[in-house]
Structure formats: structure tokens, C-alpha cells
């Protein structure tokens, strides 16, 4: 099995061996356990007890489907686990004892204590866990197998869901792959059954929803309705994750809820180059994955994918979820961001998900490699996507309604687009028609508003990055003031009536893109996520004081 660059170049960071003194310091965070030779310590698809610190013996880490392909052999001082163990989620690999093995099992709740109390060791361990997950993704080790045609909209939906959640997987096309044909025959699958997902625990799912797949993989776990969180954060984009990091690092209990994946629109960005501290740029996925892992490091709980359908109040805030579960919290932070705008074309939905895309990721780039594509939009997200796609495709037709890109796009992106010979910018132009057969896009037509000239080209993939609308439909019955466009009214500064970022309903705060008047930038969203925590502390303290005063009056 070949090793990717990250594994070769950073192997010591991926698989550190702790000295005896460091091992002794970590023993207090867990309990000792002994395994017999040949016994399985961790198994793909099965929940884990936490990280395991090897005291004696050797543990072979192997892919479940290829037990002879050893990823690493941990000896004394080695640490068995990756990001799944940070939260006790199912393992992606198998760990098998070679000879008698003694370990210290550090449960998830104590891993967080370790990260705080042993900062230097915690940093080394956290880096190793992240790099190991990256290695598994690069080598497609662990995770589910998706059997279905590469261009099927549901295959793309499931692939994007897993990719956006940083989860390894394999996609096998029965028209091209012998392994896929074998699975189709073995499980007697019909065309109507595809896509079919084979989960690591052995379950077979026919065209599952994201929620069904997440539960099969152990993403989602039951929420204890008796738990009252200090804050429920709705939305796991830059603003929501920043609020989670700062709140949990200051000792507050937090549950983050998102209907799809962590990262929001920022997570779908091909490259972010104007975020402070990253002079060479960073992909949105990489940036948001760091924030997601950081929030979990401090103890934030995640409910992804899970959708809030109703927000009410009953001696505290009550959030009803689509799964029928209930979340209780002392305060709510609305960070639900925005949802992508759609073109007003009657047949648009026929091609969405398979030929019409709302972000440009490696999944979409693979589909349109070497072909011509059309991209609609004139903002930074559109510019980043155009540059990314220009390196994967024959030509990018960039279509904008305005007279130029300068008014809506950062200068560095305008210059970069101009330097790409295979990006053709069409200003004052609009898409007029999509044509195809049986849900397969074959031709895109557009018209120049100034000259009236119409053009039709054989294009099979269209990317729409034309801005977004506030994702606030779930707040419809919560009595929260919104502006004419649906953005939540919540000033960033204190007034006589409200605290900073507080909505018209006390204890409910709004941050990031969903807030009226916010600056639609990743850095601004992160800043609001950090700022709102001070307001949250003030609200919780005032609520506690009111509760104490009420008790005193009652006793009097």
C-alpha cells in the first residue's frame, strides 16, 4: 500500500512515541486494561472507549478489509486512536493485539481534561489525531462504500456529505468497477436499489438520507432531553464554530446543531486567501475542519446532521429537531447562515445535484475534468471557484450580470481570473435556458443584456454562486424580528433595550451571515462568534441572579 506525502513527511508527528515520564503523567487520565494476544482493541464501525496509551506489547493497526496491510504498529509509548476517539465515535480501522498488551484507556471526557491540563502533550496528541484522519481520507481507508453511477445526483449528494464532514469513503461505479459489480451480485442489487451504501457495521442502506447515513456511521447519537445546555448554537459555520470554541474554552456547556455539515458556505470554498494568518491561503474545508476539531477538543457536543424545526420556551429554551428529539438550553445562538440562491428557470430542479452545482469541490471537479463548464456569479466565492475549476477543466465561462467584476470581487481575484487563459468572463449576461434529456444537462444558453446576442454551448455542468438568502425559515414562529430580506435584527452594540447581538427575544442571539447588517466575510463571522460569548456570559449571570432572587422572595 503506497503512502501519501503527508504520511511520509510527517510520520513522526502522526505516530509520536511518548517517553516514560510523559506516559506516567498521562496515566491519571484513564484506567489500565489488559488484552490477550489476537484480541481486538478497536474494530471498524464499533464505538470506542477512547484513546489507548500503550504500556506493554504491540498493537497492529489495519484496514478492516485488508488485515495484512499494516498502517502502523504501536509499541510502548504509542497512542492508539484518531479523531473518532476524541468523541467516542465508531472506529475507522481495526487494532489487534500482538502478544499480551497493557494499555491505559482515556475516555473522551478525560481526553478534554488532558488537552487542558497537559497542554504540550495535548498539542502533540491532537496534531497526531488530525494527521491520522487526513491519512485515512487520502488513502480511502475506512468508512462506507457507495455503490452507484458517478454522475447520479444521490451519489454526489452522499459523497459531498461525507467529504464535507471529513469522513473517508469509497465510491464504486458498477458500470466501470469490478468490485462494484461483485457487490451488486453478492447483495442481489437492482438498478432501482442504487445508490446503495455498505456501512462499516455491515448495514446496507438503499439511497439513504444524510441523517440515516450519519446514524449508521455513528455521527448522530441520542440527545438527553434532561440535559440543559448553557447554549444551543444553531449553525456550524465560521460564526457558530467560533462561538463554540470560545464558549467551551471558558467552561460553558454547548451543543452545536447543523442540518448538513460543519463549515457552512466557507467550508465549500476552494481557497481562502484573505484570512488573517494564512499568507499562502487555505481551503475552506481545511480551515473549518480545524475549527470543528478545536471545538470538540474543548468539549463542544455536535449534532450533525440534525435540523431544528421549532424554537420555543418552557422554563428555558426548547428546540424541537426533525428527528423528534428535544434540546433544552438556557440561551440560543442563531448562526444558521444563508442558503444558496437559485436561478429562476422552470426546469432547474431537473439538473440540480447532478449537473447544476452550488459549490466547486474535488467531487464536482472530477466529473467535469477536461470539459467546458459555465459558472454564474461575481463575488469572491465565484472567483475562487472559477480559478479552482480552471485548473481542472478545458474552459470556464464566467457569467455575471454586472458591467464588471471589480465592484463585487476582491482585487487579487480579479487579477488572477484575468491571468487565466481558459476563463472567459461574460459581463452583462444572464442564463436563459438549460436543455437536456432525462435529467442530463446537454446545453446551456445565455444572452448579453446590452447587445442582445444569444449563445448556446454544449455544456454539461453549471455552477451557481450567486449569493445567498438568510436561512431563517425555522424561526418563523419564534417571534424574532427580521428585516425586509429576512435577516435577523440583532445589533452588534449594546442599547438600552438589548445586549450586543441580542434579538428581539431576550436570550436569543444572532451572529454571522444570518444577522442583518453583518459583514459577509469569514473573518467577520469568526469575530462575531468570539464577541457573542461575552454577551452570553452576561445573560447567563443575569438569569442566575434573577433565579436566586426569586427563590429568596419565595422563601421569605
Q: What is the pLDDT of residues 106-120, one digit of tens each?
A: 999 999 899 989 999
Residue that is written with C-alpha cell 440527545 in the block: 223
Domains 145-217 and 228-339+470-550 in one fold: no
d(CA 339, CA 375): 18
DSSP annotation string for 436-465: EETTEEEEEEEEETTT--EEEE----EEE-
Cβ proximity of 68 and 104 under 8 Å? no
Confidence of residue 432 (pLDDT cuts 50, 70, 90): very high
For domain 228-339+470-550, give the CATH superfamily: FAD/NAD(P)-binding domain (3.50.50.60)
Q: Which CATH architecture has domain 145-217?
A: 3-Layer(aba) Sandwich (3.40)
Cell numbers representing residue 71 in the block:
498502517
Closest by alpha carbon to 145, among 111, 186, 113? 186
**Across 94-111, average pLDDT:** 96
DSSP annotation string for 140-202: T-SS-EEES-TT-HHHHHHHHHHHHTT---EEE-TTT-HHHHHHHHHTT--GGG-SEEE-TTS
Confidence of residue 219 (pLDDT cuts 50, 70, 90): confident
Predicted confidence (pLDDT) per residue in 113-158, tens digit: 999 899 999 999 999 999 999 999 999 899 999 999 988 999 999 9
Q: What is the pLDDT of residue 552?
A: 52
d(CA 397, CA 423): 6
d(CA 529, CA 531): 6
The structural domains of the chain, with segments of one domain joined by +, span 5-138, 145-217, 228-339+470-550, 348-466
**Across 24-41, average pLDDT:** 97
Three-state SS at 135 = helix
Asked if residue 2 has pLDDT above 50, the reply is no
Closest by alpha carbon to 504, among 517, 485, 491, 519? 491
Cβ proximity of 143 and 201 under 8 Å? no
**Across 204-213, average pLDDT:** 96
Q: What is the pLDDT of residue 4?
A: 47
H-helix or E-strand containing 549?
Answer: helix 522-555
Q: What is the pLDDT of residue 8?
A: 52
Confidence of residue 421 (pLDDT cuts 50, 70, 90): very high
Residue 491 neighbours by CB distance under 10 Å: 17
**Across 488-513, average pLDDT:** 95
| Topology of domain 5-138, CATH | Jelly Rolls (2.60.120)
d(CA 192, CA 489): 47
Q: What is the pLDDT of residue 5?
A: 42
Cβ proximity of 41 and 74 under 8 Å? no
Asked if residue 220 has pLDDT above 60, the reply is yes
Asked if residue 555 has pLDDT above 60, the reply is no
Three-state SS at 241 = helix
Pairing of strands 231-234, 94-106: unpaired
**Across 478-506, average pLDDT:** 94
Residue that is written with C-alpha cell 467560533 in the block: 242
Asked, as a colleague might, if the bond just before 305 is cis with ω within 30 of 0, I would say: yes
pTM (global) more than 0.85: yes
Q: Which CATH architecture has domain 348-466?
A: 3-Layer(bba) Sandwich (3.50)
What is each CA distance from 143 to 7, 40, 163, 379, in whole angstroms?
19, 18, 11, 35
Cβ proximity of 501 and 534 under 8 Å? no
Cell numbers representing residue 410 in the block:
476582491
Amino acid at each position: 500500500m503506497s503512502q501519501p506525502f503527508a504520511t511520509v513527511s510527517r510520520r513522526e508527528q502522526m505516530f509520536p512515541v511518548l517517553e516514560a515520564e510523559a506516559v506516567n503523567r498521562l496515566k491519571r487520565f484513564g484506567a489500565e486494561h489488559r488484552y490477550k494476544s489476537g484480541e481486538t482493541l478497536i474494530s471498524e464501525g464499533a464505538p470506542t472507549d477512547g484513546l489507548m496509551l500503550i504500556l506493554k506489547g504491540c498493537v497492529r493497526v489495519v484496514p478492516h478489509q485488508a488485515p495484512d496491510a499494516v498502517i502502523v504498529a504501536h509499541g510502548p509509548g504509542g497512542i492508539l486512536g484518531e479523531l473518532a476517539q476524541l468523541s467516542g465515535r465508531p472506529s475507522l480501522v481495526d487494532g489487534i493485539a500482538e502478544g499480551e498488551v497493557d494499555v491505559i484507556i482515556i475516555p473522551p471526557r478525560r481526553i478534554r481534561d488532558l488537552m487542558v491540563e497537559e497542554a504540550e502533550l495535548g498539542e502533540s496528541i491532537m496534531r497526531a489525531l488530525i494527521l491520522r484522519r487526513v491519512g485515512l481520507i487520502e488513502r480511502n481507508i475506512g468508512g462506507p462504500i457507495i455503490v452507484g453511477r458517478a454522475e447520479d445526483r444521490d451519489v454526489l449528494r452522499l459523497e459531498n456529505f461525507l467529504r464535507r464532514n471529513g469522513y473517508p469513503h469509497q465510491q464504486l461505479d458498477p458500470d466501470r468497477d469490478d468490485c462494484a459489480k461483485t457487490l451488486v451480485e453478492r447483495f442481489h442489487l437492482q438498478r432501482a436499489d442504487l445508490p446503495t451504501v455498505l456501512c462499516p457495521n455491515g448495514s446496507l442502506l438503499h439511497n439513504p438520507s444524510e441523517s440515516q447515513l450519519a446514524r449508521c456511521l455513528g455521527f448522530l447519537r441520542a440527545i438527553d432531553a434532561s440535559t440543559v445546555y448553557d447554549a444551543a448554537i444553531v449553525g456550524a459555520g465560521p460564526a457558530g464554530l467560533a462561538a463554540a470554541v470560545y464558549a467551551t474554552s471558558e467552561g460553558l456547556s454547548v451543543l452545536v446543531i447543523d442540518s448538513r455539515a460543519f463549515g457552512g458556505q466557507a467550508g465549500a470554498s476552494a481557497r481562502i486567501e484573505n484570512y488573517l494568518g494564512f499568507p499562502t491561503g487555505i481551503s475552506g474545508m481545511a480551515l473549518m475542519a480545524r475549527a470543528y476539531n478545536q471545538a470538540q477538543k474543548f468539549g463542544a457536543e455536535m449534532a450533525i446532521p440534525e435540523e431544528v424545526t421549532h424554537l420555543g420556551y418552557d422554563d428555558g429554551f426548547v428546540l424541537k429537531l426533525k428527528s423528534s428529539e428535544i434540546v433544552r438550553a438556557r440561551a440560543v445562538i442563531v448562526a444558521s447562515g444563508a442558503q444558496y440562491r437559485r436561478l429562476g428557470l422552470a426546469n432547474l430542479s431537473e439538473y440540480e445535484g447532478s449537473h447544476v452545482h452550488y459549490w466547486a469541490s474535488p467531487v464536482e471537479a472530477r466529473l467535469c475534468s477536461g470539459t467546458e463548464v459555465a459558472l454564474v456569479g461575481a463575488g469572491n466565492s465565484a472567483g475562487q471557484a472559477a480559478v479552482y475549476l480552471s485548473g481542472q477543466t478545458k474552459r470556464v465561462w464566467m457569467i455575471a450580470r454586472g458591467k464588471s467584476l471589480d465592484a463585487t470581487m476582491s482585487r487579487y481575484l480579479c487579477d488572477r481570473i484575468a491571468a487565466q487563459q481558459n476563463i472567459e468572463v461574460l459581463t452583462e449576461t444572464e442564463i436563459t435556458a438549460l436543455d437536456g434529456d432525462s435529467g442530463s444537462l446537454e446545453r446551456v444558453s445565455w444572452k448579453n443584456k446590452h447587445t442582445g446576442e444569444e449563445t448556446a454551448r454544449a455544456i454539461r455542468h453549471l455552477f451557481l454562486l450567486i449569493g445567498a438568502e438568510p436561512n431563517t425559515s425555522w424561526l418563523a414562529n419564534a417571534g424574532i424580528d427580521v428585516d425586509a430580506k429576512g435577516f435577523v435584527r440583532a445589533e452588534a452594540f449594546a442599547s438600552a433595550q438589548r445586549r450586543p447581538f441580542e434579538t428581539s427575544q431576550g436570550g436569543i442571539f444572532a451572529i454571522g451571515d444570518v444577522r442583518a447588517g453583518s459583514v459577509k466575510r469569514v473573518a467577520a463571522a469568526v469575530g462575531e462568534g468570539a464577541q457573542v460569548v461575552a454577551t452570553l456570559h452576561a445573560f447567563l449571570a443575569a438569569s442566575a441572579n434573577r433565579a436566586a432572587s426569586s427563590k429568596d422572595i419565595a422563601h421569605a
